[in-house]
Structure 1
Amino acid sequence: MAHVTYRIVEHDGGWAYKAGETFSETFASHDEARAAAVRAAREQRAPDESAVIEYADDNGDWVTERADGHDRPATDVEG
């Protein structure tokens, strides 16, 4: 099973969450960025629903694929 860690980091004059090398939008506070990361992590774990997902691969290219609802990554939030 895949694992995704969302890390809260300072970014572009504010705070963001980062998964791999990809940053979220910038938030005014650490708490806002953390809350957004928790929402993103929860959405990634949503069971029993197939969905179209998008993510940046190791080369920074965006990939769109259909994910089986039974094949969700484990997630956590650090920071």
Structure 2
Amino acid sequence: MKTSAEAIELWKAHSKYDAWITYESWHYRLKNVTDLVRFSEDDKLYRGTPISITSTSDNKKESKQFIEYLKTESSHQVFQKWGWK
């Protein structure tokens, strides 16, 4: 498997799998077929969401504006809605 999307398809296609451990954000897209099990803080894994502007971008100004938006509380609320902390 290369992506979480591939893992989802395998998990859904094979009823022999009892569990699938992944990021909380996937639960919100698959609420009808998943249960969210919360781990203690010591057992949680967090990953970053890096972003950068390519040197060949034709939209540097807009890209910088988008990056600034990602730093706002409004953006953070969108991420939280979908299971990102």
Is the TM value for this pair above 0.5? Answer: no
More helix by share: 2
Pair member with larger Rg: 2
Bigger relative contact order, structure 1 or 2, given CA contacts below 8 A and separation 6+?
1
TM range (shorter): under 0.3
TM-score, length basis structure 2: 0.23
